[in-house]
């Protein structure tokens, strides 16, 4: 199961941190590392800090965008050390292990780690189903990225060991449909946003927080592929109805003139 859990590092500044992350992953049995626009990579400092985990570096994916890193993932969790303007489902590392390891048996899970100095942006966190927070002490809460990855990977490994002893499905039963992946969810959100603009429910010049709140609502449900298709089917029906109403209204105005 751990081979289906991807550690994603976004815009990492120091290559030594990448090597240290690879070592932390290998310690706990994870192997899927993805780097989104690292500042310096490949680099000798990364190899030196990997200290025997160079196979993780050799097989790491390097991509230009977060979308590429997440396209085939069905559950996305972002690490966050601070509160956000819009509350999002927040879990601790142990809860993450309990959620992610059963799903990772059949799905791909991504755990995102942001920049060393400022973490993940709000937009990046909005792509996540959950946010995970490491409950360090308030007076000294800053963790080195490799230390944060070590904590998360440890809890994932412990959850797998427990899961091996007593397997329990995510929703109390074996699910009949594969979960929707990130790319499918993004297409749904694009379709939803455009439909809301078309029916004049969403003002693109003053969107406020409507789309982030709708993202939070739908991602909290962790929808499967059929559920996403049903939602998009509803949107298509709304689109057709709106087009018919617009055509009829235009015709009526033409008759009056």
Nearest to 191 by CA among 238, 143, 232, 221: 232
* Higher-confidence position of 256 and 127: 127
Query: What are the phi and psi torsion angles at 159 (to 5°)?
Result: -65, -40
Nearest to 122 by CA among 76, 92, 88: 88
Q: Please give the mean pLDDT across all residues of the chain.
A: 92
Residue 86's pLDDT band, with cuts at 50, 70 and 90, is confident
Q: Residue 141 carries which DSSP code?
A: -
Mean pLDDT in residue range 130-153: 93
What kind and span of H or E run contains 211?
Answer: helix 210-220
- CA 118, distance to chain mean position in Å, is 18
Residue 48's pLDDT band, with cuts at 50, 70 and 90, is very high
The C-alpha atoms of residue 18 and residue 33 are separated, in whole angstroms, by 9
Contact 96, 132 (CB under 8 A): yes
Q: What percent of the chain has pLDDT above 90?
A: 81
Q: What is the pLDDT of residue 252?
A: 65
Q: Residue 138 carries which DSSP code?
A: G
The C-alpha atoms of residue 129 and residue 220 are separated, in whole angstroms, by 6
Contact 179, 223 (CB under 8 A): yes
Q: What is the pLDDT of residue 16?
A: 98
Q: What is the pLDDT of residue 171?
A: 73
Whole-model pTM: value is 0.85
Q: What angle do CA 197, 201, 205 make, to 5 degrees?
A: 60
What stretches of the chain adopt beta strand conformation (E)? Answer: 5-10, 32-36, 61-63, 75-79, 90-91, 109-113, 130-132
Residue 83's pLDDT band, with cuts at 50, 70 and 90, is low
Mean pLDDT in residue range 172-182: 88
Mean pLDDT in residue range 224-231: 98
The C-alpha atoms of residue 143 and residue 78 are separated, in whole angstroms, by 15
């Amino acid at each position: 199961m751990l081979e289906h859990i991807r550690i994603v590092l976004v815009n990492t500044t120091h290559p030594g941190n990448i090597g240290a992350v690879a070592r932390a992953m290998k310690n706990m049995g994870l192997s899927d590392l993805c780097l989104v626009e690292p500042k310096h990579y490949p680099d000798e400092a990364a190899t030196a800090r990997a200290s025997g985990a160079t196979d993780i570096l050799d097989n790491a994916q390097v991509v230009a965008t977060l979308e590429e890193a997440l396209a085939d993932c069905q559950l996305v969790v972002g690490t966050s050390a601070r509160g956000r303007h819009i509350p999002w489902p927040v879990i601790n590392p142990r809860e993450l292990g309990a959620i992610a390891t059963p799903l990772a048996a059949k799905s791909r899970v991504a755990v995102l780690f942001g920049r060393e100095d400022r973490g993940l942006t709000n937009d990046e966190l909005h792509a996540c189903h959950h946010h995970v927070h490491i409950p360090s002490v308030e007076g000294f809460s800053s963790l080195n990225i490799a230390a944060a990855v070590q904590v998360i990977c440890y809890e994932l490994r412990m959850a797998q060991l427990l899961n091996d002893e007593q397997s329990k499905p995510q929703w109390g039963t074996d699910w009949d449909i594969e979960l929707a992946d990130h790319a499918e969810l993004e297409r749904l959100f694009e379709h939803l946003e455009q439909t809301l603009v078309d029916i004049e429910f969403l003002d693109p010049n003053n969107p406020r927080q409507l789309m982030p709140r709708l993202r939070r609502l739908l991602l909290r449900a962790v929808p499967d592929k059929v559920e996403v298709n049903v939602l998009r089917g509803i949107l298509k029906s709304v689109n057709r109805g709106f087009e018919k109403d617009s055509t009829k209204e235009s015709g009526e105005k033409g008759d009056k003139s």
